[in-house]
Structure 1
Amino acid sequence: MTLKINFKARIVILIFEDMKKLLYLIIPIALIGCDDGDLILEDLDFEGATVQACEIPDDGDTSDYLFYMINDTETISLQLSTIDDILSSEATHGPYSLITNDLEYRKLSDAAGSDYFCNDIPPSSPTTLQTFIGEDGDVYITTSIEEEDNDGISAVDEGIATLQDTDMDGLPDYIDEDDDGDNVLTINEGINLTDLSLSQDTDGDGTPDYLDNDDDGDGIPTIQEDLNRDLSPANDRLLVGTDLQPYYLINSIEMASPAIDTFRPHEYSSTANLDISIEDLTATSDSREIIIAFYEFGTFVRTVTTTITPNFVP
């Protein structure tokens, strides 16, 4: 029997069906037809499939991971144990040997459902037609982290290079959804995402409102113009003419009493991208063996939202 293999790999080195008969192939992709009517493994590159994982606690307090992909009647999974902080430490982690960790490819009788993995009791269907087990190889995980306060302003424009912290609350602007610490979210302070220099500047002092803790220039900090003390100055309004306008954007002597001494809770997201690859992979099924010099398993993406209340800075 001959296997038809199409790995997402830089080089497929060899495929053989009998331990005594060895056939070497050194080509980018090996496509070998099956002429005896037996089972064909059609596609192992999982192009377009999403790398998923069984539940990972938000605090990352785990050392056991199960990454997997499903492509109709094919699945591939990687069970990995490590004490390395692969979720939040930007680095290339590994190598993790497949001698002590598990890689498994399955060809199934029918399409695998979304609940095929991560169950305490393995599903009874679909049935497995053939399994390749990773016997050897080194797994590497390259982790990159992207943090974002979701205010629409790029991290570069928010001074990520210098960890700019306009309100000195301990959160750099690029993960601070209230850059100036006035309890009005940056995204609600008239930012012009096309040209930040054209953002709203109520008092005309040259500092846009989203970076100005006294937006109307009346000498009263915006955070203290929160008369109902609900940590949202935007909903404290005064009738000016026929319009209701927030106190913090008009000259007014009204102040919160007692004074506000708390920042509103802040949220920012952290996205971890885990690029998973395997070097010198050897996978076997009965007497069949596949050896791949470099296999790109795929990228697992995990986003976690963090809520934090910064220490108050008067």
Structure 2
Amino acid sequence: MIKTMIKKIAVLVLALVFIGCSEGDILEIPLDIFSDDELQNCSNENDNTFVFFVIDGDTNRSLSVNFTDSNFEIEPATIADISVDEPIVITLNTTTNQLLYREFDTVIDGDDYFCNSVPVSNVNVTQELISSNGTVEISYTLQNTTGTETIYERTVTLNDVTLEGNGIAIRRELLVLGTDSVTITN
């Protein structure tokens, strides 16, 4: 009888411990807040590095894709440089081809922050998550052709990405970073 009572008390104590323990606050970073923001880009064609980024100025957050590709052109010169049939696929990693989520202590200017070889010094990153896997697809859709120019819509889509940092991991199967236009003079 005493053994049964001790077992019941032990089960009750363990249940209370598990109920009372907390894994901490669940932090949800809404990556879809960027869906209404303008997709911007820049490049350093000398070393074939490119950046696509969106900034939410209301919350001082950014989502950017940085990658290196010797065949990609941010401003294609001819229609032959664009494939509407096959998207360009870039595999993300933690070093060279990255998806970065950042929160800042102030509003940032994308051209100053992302497009300079030396970023501005008066901006502090307060939270950063870096991709550990996933892919980026850059696809083109023909929008309009005139006698003098051809316009394409370029869409940057993230697939099966995981962002990690500071004990946080966020996974998204599909996230459209954004769209912009590419105009080619015929």
- The TM-score with structure 1 as length reference comes to 0.43
Structure 1: gaps of 5 or more residues: 9-44, 150-174, 176-267, 307-314
Distance apart, 1:62 and its partner CA? 8.4
Within 5 A, what are the aligned runs for 1:19-30? Answer: none
CA 1:131–1:46 in structure 2 vs 1: closer, same or farther (change >3 Å)? same
Sequence identity percentage: 23
Distance apart, 1:103 and its partner CA? 0.9
Structure 2: gaps of 5 or more residues: 1-24, 77-81
For residue 13 of structure 2, what is the aligned residue in structure 1? none
Runs of 4 or more above 6 Å deviation: none
CA 1:56–1:301 in structure 2 vs 1: closer, same or farther (change >3 Å)? farther
For residue 120 of structure 1, what is the aligned residue in structure 2? 117
* Pairing partner for 1:53 from 41, 45, 53: 41
CA 1:97–1:113 in structure 2 vs 1: closer, same or farther (change >3 Å)? same
For residue 191 of structure 1, what is the aligned residue in structure 2? none
Q: 1:275, 1:299 within 8 Å by CA — same for their partners in 2?
A: yes
Q: Deviations over 1:195-233 (max 9, x none)?
A: xxxxxxxxxxxxxxxxxxxxxxxxxxxxxxxxxxxxxxx
Q: 2:43, 2:49 within 8 Å by CA — same for their partners in 1?
A: no
Q: Secondary structure at the match of 1:92?
A: coil
Cα separation, 1, equivalents of 2:53 and 2:129: 14
Q: Deviations over 1:21-77 (max 9, x none)?
A: xxxxxxxxxxxxxxxxxxxxxxxx3132110111588xxx98432111111111111
Distance apart, 1:90 and its partner CA? 1.4
CA 1:91–1:62 in structure 2 vs 1: closer, same or farther (change >3 Å)? farther
Q: Deviations over 1:144-193 (max 9, x none)?
A: 234433xxxxxxxxxxxxxxxxxxxxxxxxx2xxxxxxxxxxxxxxxxxx
| Structure 2 residue 94 is the aligned partner of structure 1 residue 102 | no
Aligned length: 150
Higher gyration radius (CA): 1
For residue 6 of structure 1, what is the aligned residue in structure 2? 30
For residue 70 of structure 1, what is the aligned residue in structure 2? 55
Q: 1:92, 1:140 within 8 Å by CA — same for their partners in 2?
A: no
Q: Secondary structure at the match of 2:37?
A: coil
Cα separation, 2, equivalents of 1:56 and 1:143: 21
- The TM-score with structure 2 as length reference comes to 0.70
Pairwise CA RMSD of aligned residues? 2.5
Q: Secondary structure at the match of 1:116?
A: helix
For residue 163 of structure 2, what is the aligned residue in structure 1? 283
Q: 1:52, 1:67 within 8 Å by CA — same for their partners in 2?
A: yes
Distance apart, 1:5 and its partner CA? 2.6
For residue 273 of structure 1, what is the aligned residue in structure 2? 153
Bigger helix fraction: 2
Q: 1:65, 1:79 within 8 Å by CA — same for their partners in 2?
A: yes
Q: 2:142, 2:151 within 8 Å by CA — same for their partners in 1?
A: yes
Letter in 2 for 1:65: F
